[in-house]
Structure 1
Amino acid sequence: MKIAVVVDSTSYLSDEIKRRNNIYTIPLNTIFDDEIYREDIDITPEEFYDKMRDREELPTTSQPSIGDYIILLEDLHKKGYTDVISLHLSGNISGTIQNAVAAGQSVDGIEVHPIDSDIACTPLGLLAVYAAQQKDKLPLDELLERLERFKSKEFIDSYFVVDDLTNLKKGGRLSNAQAFVGQLLKIKPILRFEDGKIVAIQKIRTKKKALNTVVGLIKDTIDRQNVENEAVTLTVIHANIDDEADEFIKELEAHFKGATVLKSHFGPVIGTHLGEKAIGVAITSFNADITGF
Structure 2
Amino acid sequence: MKLAIVTDSTAFLSEGTRKHPDLSIIPIPVILDGKIFNEGIDIEADEYYDLLKNSKEFPTTSQPALGEALELYQSLAAQGYDTIISIHLSLGISGFVRNLHTIADAIDGVTIIPYDSKITSMPMGYMVEAALNLADQGKSLEDILAHLDMIRDHTNAYMIVDDLNNLVRGGRLTNGAALVAGLLKIKPVLTFEDGKIVLFEKIRSSKKAFNRAEEIIGQRKQEYNRPVKMYIIHANNLEVALEEKQKLQEKYPDVPIEIGHFGPVIGTHLGEKAIGFAITAI
Instruction: Assess if the C-alpha contact under 8 Å between 2:32 and 2:57 holds in 1.
Output: no
2:237 is aligned to 241
Which of 180, 184, 187 is matched with 2:182 structurally?
184
Taking the aligned partners of 1:157 and 1:194, their CA distance within structure 2 comes to 9
Q: 1:179 to 1:161 in 2, by over 3 A?
A: closer
2:141 is aligned to 140
1:217 is aligned to 216
Please report how far the alpha carbon of residue 52 of structure 1 lies from its aligned counterpart in structure 2 after TM superposition: 1.5
Q: 1:54 to 1:206 in 2, by over 3 A?
A: farther
2:156 is aligned to 157
Instruction: Assess if the C-alpha contact under 8 Å between 2:6 and 2:84 holds in 1.
Output: yes
Instruction: Assess if the C-alpha contact under 8 Å between 1:6 and 1:26 holds in 2.
Output: yes
- CA deviations 1:234-254 (Å, max 9, x no partner) are 110000011111111111111
Taking the aligned partners of 1:103 and 1:14, their CA distance within structure 2 comes to 29
Q: Which amino acid aligns with 1:239?
A: A
Q: TM-score, normalised by structure 2?
A: 0.94
Q: Which amino acid aligns with 1:273?
A: H
Matched, 1:232 2:228: yes
1:75 is aligned to 75
Matched, 1:101 2:101: yes
Please report how far the alpha carbon of residue 113 of structure 1 lies from its aligned counterpart in structure 2 after TM superposition: 1.0
**For 2:243, what is the secondary structure of its paired residue?**
helix
**How many residues align structurally?**
280
Which of 264, 283, 292 is matched with 2:279 structurally?
283
What pairs with 1:78-93 in structure 2 (closer than 5 Å)?
78-93=78-93
Please report how far the alpha carbon of residue 261 of structure 1 lies from its aligned counterpart in structure 2 after TM superposition: 0.6
Deviant stretches of 4+, over 4 Å: none
Q: 1:106 to 1:33 in 2, by over 3 A?
A: farther
Structure 2 portions without partners, runs of 5+: none
The RMSD of aligned alpha carbons is: 1.7
1:290 is aligned to none
Taking the aligned partners of 1:82 and 1:20, their CA distance within structure 2 comes to 18
Which of 262, 266, 281 is matched with 2:262 structurally?
266
Taking the aligned partners of 1:267 and 1:2, their CA distance within structure 2 comes to 30
**For 1:198, what is the secondary structure of its paired residue?**
strand
Please report how far the alpha carbon of residue 20 of structure 1 lies from its aligned counterpart in structure 2 after TM superposition: 4.5
Farther-moved stretch of structure 1 (267-276 vs 18-27): 18-27
What pairs with 1:44-59 in structure 2 (closer than 5 Å)?
44-55=44-55, 57-59=57-59
Matched, 1:9 2:9: yes
Structure 1 portions without partners, runs of 5+: 287-293
1:167 is aligned to 166
Q: TM-score, normalised by structure 1?
A: 0.90
Taking the aligned partners of 1:258 and 1:224, their CA distance within structure 2 comes to 16
**For 1:213, what is the secondary structure of its paired residue?**
helix
Taking the aligned partners of 1:189 and 1:161, their CA distance within structure 2 comes to 7
Q: Which amino acid aligns with 2:208?
A: K
Instruction: Assess if the C-alpha contact under 8 Å between 1:30 and 1:38 holds in 2.
Output: yes
